[in-house]
Amino acid sequence: MNNEYELKTDLVTFQQRVNQFIEQELKQYSAHHSPLIDAMAYAVLLGGKRVRPFLIYATGRMLGVSLKALDHSAAAMESIHAYSLVHDDLPAMDDDKLRRGKPTCHIAFDEATAILAGDSLQTFAFELIAKDPFLTDLQKIKQIQSLAKAAGAKGMCLGQSLDLISENKAISLSELELIHRNKTGALIVASVLMGFNLSDYAQDEKIKNALECYAKAIGLAFQVQDDILDVIGDTDKIGKTAGSDESLNKSTYPKLLGLEGAMEKAQSLYQTALKALDELPFDTRALKALAHFIIQRES
C-alpha cells in the first residue's frame, strides 16, 4: 500500500469489483426472463457506497487474504444488505419511495415482486458462499454462520423489529443503541469478521476483539451520522427522503441528544474505533480512513 493512502481509490476499486462480480453471478438467472430477476438486479446494483464489501476486502487484505478469496463473501454481504433495504422500504415497514436517488424497488416494480426480489437476494447470498471455490468447507460454514447470525433474529431483523415497535414511543438512549447495534451494526461487524475469518489469524482472539471493537464503533457511528443527515441533509444528496424519521415519529440521536450532542457522539465513536485499531500490528490506514469517511459523509 502506498505511503499516501487514498480512500477514494479503494472505494471505487472495491465498488466496481463487487458490482462486476454480482452482475456476472446474476447472469445465471437471466434465461428465466422474469421481472423477478430484473428486480433483484435493480435492487442490488442500484448504487450505494458498498461500505460492507469494502470492510470485507480491506480487512481481509490487511490480514493477507487474496481479493479473489473475498469476492463471494463481499457479494453475499451486499446481497443481504440490498434485500434488507428492499424490505425496509415496503409500505408495511418504512414506506419509502426513494432509495439512492431512485424509486424504491416496490415503486419501480410492484410490492409482490419487491418482496420476492428481497427473498431471492437473501438466498442468493448463501448460495454464493456455499459454492465459493476458494474456501474450505469449514471456512464456508464459518462465513455462512457469521452472515446468518448478523442478518437474522439475533441481528438485523431483530433491530428492524425493535425499530418498528418503537415508532411513536419515547425510548431511552440505551434502547436506541440496542436497535441500531442490531439493525445497522450487526452487518458491519459481520463484514469485518468475514474478512478476518479467512485469514491465518482467524484463531487469534486479541486481533478478533480489536476488530470487533472497531466494527461496533463504526457501525453505531454510521447510524448516528444517518440520523444527523436525516435532519440536516439534502434529499438530492442523501438519495432518500430527508426527514423521513421525523415523519414516522422515530427516536433518533439528534432527538435524544440534540444535533450538537449527536455530532459529539459520532466523534466519540470514531475515536473509539481508532483506538481499537491502534492495538493491531498491521497497516490499518484503510480501516481508519473508512471510519473517518463514515462520520464525515453527506449521503
Assess whether pLDDT exceeds 90 at residue 41. Answer: yes
Confidence tier at 298 by pLDDT (50, 70, 90): confident
Mean pLDDT across the chain: 94
- Output the pLDDT for position 31: 74
- Output the pLDDT for position 30: 80
- Region 112-140: mean pLDDT is 98
pTM for the full model? 0.94
Pair 76, 198: CB distance under 8 Å: no
Assess whether pLDDT exceeds 80 at residue 220. Answer: yes
Assess whether pLDDT exceeds 90 at residue 226. Answer: yes
Q: Cell match 478476518: residue?
A: 196
Determine the Cα–Cα distance for residues 265 and 99; give it in Å rounded to an integer. Answer: 26
- Region 178-187: mean pLDDT is 97
Determine the Cα–Cα distance for residues 141 and 161; give it in Å rounded to an integer. Answer: 27
Assess whether pLDDT exceeds 60 at residue 92. Answer: yes
User: Residue 246, by phi and psi: left (phi above 0), alpha (psi -120 to 50) or beta?
Assistant: alpha
- ∠ CA 177-171-274, rounded to 5°: 20
Quickly count: other Cβ atoms within 10 Å of residue 179's Cβ: 23
- HEC string for the chain: CCCCCCHHHHHHHHHHHHHHHHHHHHHHHHHHCCHHHHHHHHHHCCCCCCHHHHHHHHHHHHCCCCHHHCHHHHHHHHHHHHHHHHHHCCCCCCCCCEECCEECHHHHCCHHHHHHHHHHHHHHHHHHHHCCCCCCHHHHHHHHHHHHHHHCCCCHHHHHHHHHHCCCCCCCHHHHHHHHHHHCHHHHHHHHHHHHHCCCCCCCHHHHHHHHHHHHHHHHHHHHHHHHHHHHCCHHHHCCCCCHHHHCCCCCHHHHHHHHHHHHHHHHHHHHHHHHHCCCCCCCHHHHHHHHHHHHCCC
Closest CA to 163 of 144, 190, 185: 185
Assess whether pLDDT exceeds 90 at residue 78. Answer: yes
- Output the pLDDT for position 244: 61
- Output the pLDDT for position 233: 75
Centroid of chain to Cα 7: 17
Determine the Cα–Cα distance for residues 121 and 164; give it in Å rounded to an integer. Answer: 22
Pair 113, 35: CB distance under 8 Å: yes
Confidence tier at 245 by pLDDT (50, 70, 90): low
- Bridge partners (DSSP) listed for residue 102: 99
Distant-in-sequence, close-in-space partners of 288: CB < 8 Å, separation ≥ 6: 273, 274, 277
Determine the Cα–Cα distance for residues 132 and 139; give it in Å rounded to an integer. Answer: 10
Determine the Cα–Cα distance for residues 290 and 59; give it in Å rounded to an integer. Answer: 11
Confidence tier at 299 by pLDDT (50, 70, 90): confident
- Region 254-275: mean pLDDT is 97
- Region 283-294: mean pLDDT is 98
Centroid of chain to Cα 184: 7
The structural domains of the chain, with segments of one domain joined by +, span 7-296
Q: Domain 7-296 belongs to what topology?
A: Farnesyl Diphosphate Synthase (1.10.600)
Centroid of chain to Cα 60: 16
